[in-house]
Chain A
């Protein structure tokens, strides 16, 4: 479907887009932070509470059976959406952050020994850094950073160099340091870089190193195929894929699931409880203590259905068209510094930049006056920002409903920022 046709149709589905901000139509360009919700997601949550609300797996009455079905059907549709062979590999969490913390506590912590290594990249979100720092500190393990390319590097600006990974893994082996995990994002939430996950996994596996993929940004931007990628873990959030907040997913391969210790203790995750000890339910329930977020799962399932109906290939194409336009506009201005790959190839519509001599907060405030929502700050990537030598940046991130005209509005509003701060 052509960009304009897709957007016109899709925009009708998002009630919030009718809002005016300071008298201007809302141009929501902060989709990397969270996405807006279509009617079908809102309706699914309302319907759950109006018609089916009850606890799951704990009752034999009609409502309880309906709620359980909604919850487990949600697991099925998620499994299908990301190319998992079965729903037993899908654990529900509160979001990407909890999913990664789950792997850190339940899988990595019991394995880690003094001197072991965990490899992360410099472009990780704090949610894929700090959990590893915590377990590394407790276990006296080491976090090792796989750097991304500087500007104008032959193998691409802001790209991960695969050969470098191979060398790092060989070096660790030479030093007799066990690398326990590689944690990498599929799409950078600042640079927009799309990392070649299948190739990365292949290299890591050749050295016997499991891979965790942070798919928080990727999941609503491109087709995900955990079986094809062969990753060991994959984490993402519902609210960044047009679904509700408070729900996330951890996918784990069977071998890894078998290695995982319980995460949190409580109802639902046990088989038998004695006075002093307990035995555990099978995965995925073993990792879902307490009453799960059933309404959120029903909203997430609606979001998955919505994305599938629009088509992930179409969404990727739509985003490519917007990114192509934005990159062309960025190239027009010498005072705009864009971070991340300057080309559209393997790049998503997350575009971070600075306007010379104007603070990102001030830019975001001026854009808001024109109804344009962007993010300013370090975007939970202080390591990345320090590597770039900056404290903060402005980030525009496109979504399914954005239009080329909204990107043009942003560039016009930047003129206003120039007038105010650089006059």
Chain B
């Protein structure tokens, strides 16, 4: 039986065995995101050291795409500054809305995810973790 094109192996691997899953006990920053369309929820906890993300975890109640996106995001932002992570999030968001197929080098590992952007109904699923990340970045600014 063929696997539908939308579920590439890498995404499924992340969805089945998500990286950095759970909650940090004493996070420096914490943000939740909610998808009102389907009721999915996600919590992101971050530990910072001089502005750099030392550790991060996501607690996800969501679909495989939401889960995979959260897992890939945590891998990508670890050891980066929160500012850099915020910038990646911005570029990621832009890559979802743009018609162009061009994908920034910094987002190379997210290619399978970005390939799903033609399924417009799933963009919110992909974005949930990143919404929480942007929330954390805003909290840090204030």
* Chain A interface (Cβ < 8 Å from any Cβ of B): 359-362, 365-366, 369, 376-378, 382, 385, 391-392, 416, 419-421
Contacts and interface: CB of A to CB of B under 8 A. Distances in A.
Contacts of A391: 38-41, 61
B62 A369 contact: no
B65 interface: yes
A420 B12 contact: yes
29 contacts: A360-B38, A361-B38, A361-B62, A361-B63, A361-B122, A361-B125, A362-B63, A362-B64, A365-B122, A366-B4, A369-B4, A369-B6, A376-B38, A377-B37, A377-B39, A378-B38, A382-B39, A391-B38, A391-B40, A391-B41, A392-B38, A392-B39, A392-B40, A416-B1, A416-B4, A419-B1, A419-B3, A420-B4, A421-B12
Contacts of A420: 3-4, 7, 12
A262 to B, nearest CB: 32
A382 B39 CA distance: 8
A390 to B, nearest CB: 9
A339 to B, nearest CB: 15
Contact of A421 (B62, B64, B66): B64
A416 B2 CA distance: 9
Nearest to B5: A369
Prevailing SS type, chain A contact patch: helix
Given A361-B122, A365-B4, A377-B37, 8 more contacts: A361-B125, A362-B63, A377-B38, A391-B61, A392-B40, A416-B4, A421-B12, A421-B16
A301 B30 CA distance: 54
A342 B114 CA distance: 41
A301 B37 CA distance: 32
Contacts of B4: 365-366, 369, 416, 420
A335 to B, nearest CB: 17
Contact of A359 (B37, B41, B62): B62
Interface string B43-87: 000000000000000000111111000000000000000000000
B63 A378 contact: no
A145 B97 CA distance: 42
A361 B65 contact: yes
A360 B7 CA distance: 15
Contacts of A392: 38-40
A11 B74 CA distance: 49
Contacts of A419: 1, 3
Contacts of B125: 361
A274 B3 CA distance: 69
Contacts of A359: 62-64, 66
A173 B121 CA distance: 48
A368 to B, nearest CB: 8
A378 B39 CA distance: 7
Contacts of B61: 391
B1 to A, nearest CB: 6
A199 B122 CA distance: 43
A71 to B, nearest CB: 36
Contacts of A360: 38, 63
Nearest to B6: A365
A391 B34 CA distance: 11
A419 B12 CA distance: 12
B73 to A, nearest CB: 18
Nearest to B116: A365
A3 to B, nearest CB: 30
Nearest to A368: B4
Interface string B8-27: 00001001100000000000
